Amino acid sequence: MHPAISIIVFSTFSGVGFGIGFWLGILGNGNQSLAVVITGLLALVWASVGLISSVFHLRRPARAIRAFSQWRSSWLSREGILAILTLGCIFLYIVLRLFNIHGPGVLVLAWIISLLSLVTVYSTAMIYTQLKAVPAWNTVLTPLVFIGFSLLGGGIFYFSFLPEFLSRSFEFIILILLVGGWVIWILWSLRRDRIGMGASSVETATQLGKLGTVKPFEPPHMGPNYLTREMGYRLPKSKSTQLRGLAVALGLIIPILLYCIVFVYQDSGFANVSRILLFCFVFSGIFISRWLFFAESRHTTMLYYRNEH
């Protein structure tokens, strides 16, 4: 699939933004109001940047409002509605904490924010998971990848910039998310290599398999078109391998080394710089992995254009 930059920005930034929102709902009530307000605003900004980017991907952005009307059948519509609800709840929570308002109602609102953030990311993942015509996406691993990276991005944000929000035991949970998130992505990538086009083939696409092996005599079109540009994007194997290695190096290996440095040097200036670099590297790795999520996945429509499995 063609890796449109608007969709990469959307899924990466909104995922991290809602990840920050998820942890805000869990960690926010036990911390000072000003830090919570600033963190909530950052969650709004990150998530909003992603959502605005997705609008620019539409052929006619002015019609984006229509996407909200199909919530009964469309994961895209559900995601849009949930995103607006989540951002609204975060904004309300910010206002309450800005005026130093506490109480059971604020605590309940915080937990609602965490739940809505998680469900919103799940809905984003289901937009792709439901597409059986893209076998690489049609797996339970897809929502696990999206949720894992969202929780990781949000958790690393607190670890890097707001360590006072986290207890020492909670910082080990961040390490588990770091390793676990990338293990799930690696499993997703290995599955994609193994299944290719899944059970689909030229024979199944043309329904001529009962006659024997089928080879296209000519492609449906003599020149490039929308389908070949959007559905038939091809990434050379060598480049794919290099980018996968880069994603793992930036998102997992280097961050683990930086994580160890933080604990060795504790609260020194060197440790503080390492915390900031850790977030930058993890985010870069997630961004590359999301680009590969699209670039390495093939739509079965391409079976009509060339004999691939």
pLDDT number for residue 308: 47
Stretch 195-209: mean pLDDT: 70
pTM of this prediction?
0.90
Give the residue with greater pLDDT, 222 vs 52: 52
Instruction: Write the pLDDT tens digit of every residue in 87-103.
Output: 999 999 999 999 888 88
Q: Is residue 204 part of a domain?
A: yes
Stretch 222-248: mean pLDDT: 83
pLDDT number for residue 306: 59
CB 77 within 8 A of CB 71: yes
Instruction: Write the pLDDT tens digit of every residue in 16-65.
Output: 999 999 999 999 887 778 889 999 999 999 999 888 887 776 656 555 66
Q: Is residue 96 part of a domain?
A: yes
Residues with Cβ within 8 Å of 62's Cβ and at least 6 positions away in sequence, in order, are none
Q: Is residue 224 part of a domain?
A: yes
Q: How confident is the model at residue 74 (pLDDT cuts 50, 70, 90)?
A: confident
pLDDT number for residue 164: 86
Give the residue with greater pLDDT, 215 vs 85: 85
Residues with Cβ within 8 Å of 14's Cβ and at least 6 positions away in sequence, in order, are 46, 47, 49, 50, 51, 54, 83, 121, 124
% the chain with pLDDT above 90: 55
For 49, the domain range is 5-304
Q: How confident is the model at residue 309 (pLDDT cuts 50, 70, 90)?
A: very low
Q: How confident is the model at residue 212 (pLDDT cuts 50, 70, 90)?
A: confident
Q: Is residue 101 part of a domain?
A: yes
Q: Is residue 309 part of a domain?
A: no
Phi, psi of 81 (to 5 degrees): -65, -45
Domain count, the chain: 1
Stretch 229-245: mean pLDDT: 86
CB 150 within 8 A of CB 16: yes
Neighbours of 6 (CB within 10 A): 15
Q: How confident is the model at residue 139 (pLDDT cuts 50, 70, 90)?
A: very high
CATH of the domain at 91: 1.20.1630.10
Q: Is residue 167 part of a domain?
A: yes
Instruction: Write the pLDDT tens digit of every residue in 246-298.
Output: 999 999 999 999 999 998 888 788 899 999 999 999 999 999 999 999 998 88
Q: Is residue 89 part of a domain?
A: yes
pLDDT number for residue 6: 86
Stretch 114-142: mean pLDDT: 94
Ordered alpha helix ranges (H), 162-236: 168-195, 202-206, 226-230
Neighbours of 132 (CB within 10 A): 12
Highest mean pLDDT among 68-72, 219-223, 253-257, 301-305 belongs to 253-257
